[in-house]
Amino acid sequence: MSHPANESSVDVLVVGAGPAGLMCAYGLAKAGVNVRIVEKRADKIAAGQADGIQPRTIEVLQSYGLAERLLREACQLHRVAFYHPGPNGGVERVARIPDVTAPTARYPFEATLHQGAIEDIFIDAMQPLGLVVERQTVPVSMQLSKDPAELNDPNAYPVKVVLQHLDSNATQGDAETETIHAKFVVGADGAHSWVRKSLGIAMEGAQTEYIWGVLDLVPETDFPDVRSRCAIHSANGSCMIIPREGDGIRLYVQLSDTDVVDPATGRVDPTKMGPSEILEVARRSLHPYTIATPKEFEWSTIYISAYILWLDQHLGALMMELTVMHDTVGQRVASQFSANERVFIAGDACHTHSPKAGQGMNASMSDSHNLVWKLAQVLRGTADMSLLKT
């Protein structure tokens, strides 16, 4: 398919280079599909964000030959401990059980590794395949053909996307543009997905809010289970401890409205609760155990999480909505996952999750893993387009 200099064609255009987008692009490239992946960020994530890897996700990564590096770099979580209020005003351990109880789990543990390092695993594996993330590149328009014959022809290019290539000195209005003709587009561009909004797909759910502070740090503490995953409920509040790679941990600390809400506006003011203040709240939950203030915090943020009753009864009862700092991300589920099986959304673009449950990144990569093999078979001509409806 020939085009002018500022136009090109591709089998699959992936928008977004987080875990879902990278899994999709790498899997397609490994299957021999002509794929491009674009990302608005200039750099990958350096710290924080998602970090929990479930056993099934490790299996998926192993099928791509990527699990060995993950397990070499990650922290393995084999035990989970539970602490409740004790008779002397502090907390005491009431149970300690295996972190993964499924007897058939090939990997009977969870793993933690920060999102930037997980992205590196994909990015490094893509290089020998000649695939790189095209950064500072954003879609600005997308047109999907309405011709049924074109939509049903796996060899047609029914999606037209205009991209803008930005640099540090250019605004979107001055940026160079390129027109892409794609057989398929995958929107893996996060909770505020441009692709999803362009398709007019709604997110569904209902919510009530809770506020959590999150810290990544290397602890100096006498807490006995600091290298186990811990759920701590005390008379002074609740927190969770998640061991991280190296000697680090992640703390999830439940905050009250008075900790972070500006009474004048009724809105969350993150300047009221920095990492030192979040740690002080955690100390009250950990009493009688102590944790020192580190020389530096690796990463911190505030989440507003809310219990969500998903409208899809097959997905089960109460889930949680996520809002990050000033941004409302909303842990909800999309009303549909594709447009005519030509433009798909994956990862946070179609569902968001509680940061404490370790679900979001795992579900995102599983979305892409499921989509990759179907797209590859359709593009090879070994499966009908109807496979993409499943």
CA distance 390 to 385: 10
**Residue-level pLDDT at 191:** 84
CB-facing half-sphere around the CA of 252: CA atoms within 13 A: 25
355 as an active site residue: the answer is yes
Q: Which of 247, 249, 253 is nearest to 275 (CA)?
A: 253
**pLDDT tens, position by position, for the chain (390 residues)?**
555 558 999 999 999 999 999 999 999 999 999 999 999 999 887 766 667 899 999 999 999 999 999 999 999 999 999 999 999 999 999 999 999 998 889 999 999 998 999 999 999 999 999 999 999 999 999 999 999 999 999 999 999 999 999 875 555 556 799 999 999 999 999 888 999 999 999 887 755 467 889 999 999 999 999 999 999 999 999 999 999 999 999 999 998 888 887 888 877 777 788 899 999 999 999 999 999 999 999 989 887 754 332 222 222 332 233 233 333 445 678 788 899 999 999 988 888 765 555 567 898 999 999 999 999 999 999 999 999 999
* Crossing angle of the two packed helices 19-30 and 115-126, in degrees rounded to 10: 20
Phi, psi of 150 (to 5 degrees): -70, -40
* Beta carbons within 10 angstroms of residue 13's beta carbon: 27
Q: What is the pTM of this model?
A: 0.85
Separation in Å, CA 32 to CA 61, 106, 261, 377:
18, 29, 51, 11
Q: Which of 262, 207, 25, 251 is nearest to 130 (CA)?
A: 25
Report how far apart the first and last C-alpha atoms of the chain are (Å, whole number).
29
**Residue-level pLDDT at 120:** 96
Query: Does residue 217 contact residue 274 with C-beta atoms inside 8 Å?
Result: no
Query: Does residue 256 contact residue 211 with C-beta atoms inside 8 Å?
Result: yes
Q: Which of 233, 274, 259 is nearest to 86 (CA)?
A: 233
Q: Which of 381, 29, 340 is nearest to 185 (CA)?
A: 340
51 as an active site residue: the answer is yes
Distance of CA 142 to the CA centre of its chain: 24
Query: Which candidate in 11, 51, 189, 225 is catalytic?
Result: 51
CA distance 272 to 213: 12
Q: Which of 382, 375, 364, 347 is nearest to 11 (CA)?
A: 375
Query: Which candidate in 36, 196, 229, 244 is catalytic?
Result: 244
Domains annotated on the chain, with CATH = 7-70+113-201+336-389 (3.50.50.60), 76-112+206-306 (3.30.9.10)
Q: Which helix (H) or strand (E) holds 257?
A: helix 257-260
263 as an active site residue: the answer is no
Residue type, 163: L
Q: Which of 24, 231, 224 is nearest to 133 (CA)?
A: 24
**Residue-level pLDDT at 103:** 87
Query: Does residue 75 contact residue 112 with C-beta atoms inside 8 Å?
Result: yes
Query: Which candidate in 19, 158, 243, 355 is catalytic?
Result: 355
Query: Which candidate in 107, 157, 210, 252 is catalytic?
Result: 252
Q: Which of 218, 234, 216, 320 is nearest to 278 (CA)?
A: 216
**Angle, alpha carbons 367-370-376 (nearest 5°):** 125
Query: Does residue 208 contact residue 184 with C-beta atoms inside 8 Å?
Result: no
